[in-house]
Chain A
């Protein structure tokens, strides 16, 4: 049973600093994104079936930060209304699909924390960690305190983007995104797959986007797939949207080879994609995990060793796109103390 930590702070919202930390168990269950010592984009997609006891066990993973993350989401939504949650009117059907999927998944995978009772369209939802016990009519938004997508994703870890299938492409139609890796939800809303991937380097010439889109258009209900992605963030800051860039981008100038272990966080994204049954929309969730280099080195030294090699040899265009050009060298210097040159052996940590 997951034991939840008391509420931690992810951002310096109240000038008390960051209290976010991972336990050893939380680090060891991470979906570490580097299968090899080198990293390049690939079609790294696999069927989303349960695997092991870590982050890939459940359909939608929650961990010790669940309560903190829901609290953080509520704070961010209230501080900047209309910026981090948006849904176009025709996405209502997909919103209900998402609510059903999350409620069914959470109550099946974590019965000690969540319960769902259905009597026809009369549903009762119990969320014990957040102390909620709500009854509503499935399909009738007036019986919930807010739109179904906002309601359920305020109780979920990770961000959620709904893509509508139209004209042989996928169009961004709704999103709950309080933890964006440097993009704007409002700006991207209504864009097609090729448009919102516009800024990503190399993908176009590698032909990956065309193949990825074809693959996603073939996604079937009941057969979700997953992939991982990653980035780098200074301080354990979940909310790094384009809108708040002035608040967090200056942190990039503070990293040195001495403090990189404390300041720099690997930002892992686990993305379990689902085709939704009634709306035929595609759900693109981004479940984000933050771990400082120091915690990685303390609890998972083999992963720190591999990360040294990945960051040292990473293509410069990807470094620029992911936004750590300024402190890549400091990271590499700091990580090098954990790399003795021997092969990475994940069974040894």
Chain B
């Protein structure tokens, strides 16, 4: 199956610093036309040519799905990251052109939900923006619980409070009491759905808390925001279709190493969630270090499938069907 990664060209219309770490970019069509429509929870992949490196970072769209005259993304600067967010913060100016992939949605709303509860931390608020727009237009019932690291980080939360009033609950570290996820989830009627986007511990607490209260998994939705790619011990991999063996260095993923060597590997989210780059393992002598949310436990134990965007290996030999 082929994938064809056609890109859209967009112009940076506006850059706003929202918090000490988070900057919001407003993107428009260079000819002033409408951009493709999207649904709440969608993201775009931004492709950044940075010297001899190419960054491909996924960012949630935080503008309204009902206004496709512009897209907005919020980018958190990751100082010790791989450079994509730094590039956006330091090198991109208003008026510049960027290449992005058309929006896709890996975090859709449950359209049958009677009540929608959002739990978010920090920059995890971004996909919730477009979801709340969608729910507000449909007059659906929702609540947002947002935790931020301190008073300097509340700009996005305040903006949402202005739009949605008391339905937005802010938990400012150092000022307010800590968010109690179990209490948020307690006593909710059937038909409630919870969506969580934030650090791993917040996602895990939400899943465990909901399950302990008898929620079914079909009503628990999460999106991990991870710095895309992966790092760990270096390993070597043989791409069977290409007949080459690559060294995957400590700070690169297999996907990035293959791209840098000039091979096209299908991808979408680059974060182990979408399943696009699922690859068959032909031979492995050692252990696979699965780091994705896509493969089932059975698949992971079976050592036959592998997600090159995030997963790694501790082995002497690895041959994949790429």
Contact = CB atoms under 8 A, between A and B. Distances in A.
A182 B322 CA distance: 41
B178 interface: no
B4 A221 contact: no
B41 to A, nearest CB: 8
Interface in A194-234: 214-215, 217-218, 220-223
A46 interface: yes
Interface in B102-132: 102-105, 108, 110-112
Contacts of B274: 218
A54 to B, nearest CB: 20
Interface string B219-252: 0000000000000000000000000000000000
Contacts of A166: 110-112
A45 interface: yes
A105 B276 CA distance: 27
Helix, strand, loop or mixed for chain B's interface? loop
A248 to B, nearest CB: 36
A166 to B, nearest CB: 7
Contacts of A37: none
Interface stretch (B31-39, B141-149, B255-263): B31-39
A218 B276 contact: yes
A278 B39 contact: yes
Interface in B1-31: 1-4, 6
Nearest to A225: B1
A278 B65 CA distance: 7
B112 A47 contact: no
A223 B3 CA distance: 8
A220 B275 CA distance: 12
Given A277-B103, A280-B39, A220 B108 contact: no
Interface in A261-292: 275, 277-280
B141 to A, nearest CB: 15
B194 interface: no
B112 A222 contact: no
A220 B104 contact: yes
A128 interface: no
Interface string A28-44: 00000000000000010
B201 interface: no
Interface of A: 43, 45-47, 49, 90, 97, 164-168, 214-215, 217-218, 220-223, 275, 277-280
Interface of B: 1-4, 6, 36-39, 65-66, 102-105, 108, 110-112, 218, 268, 274-276
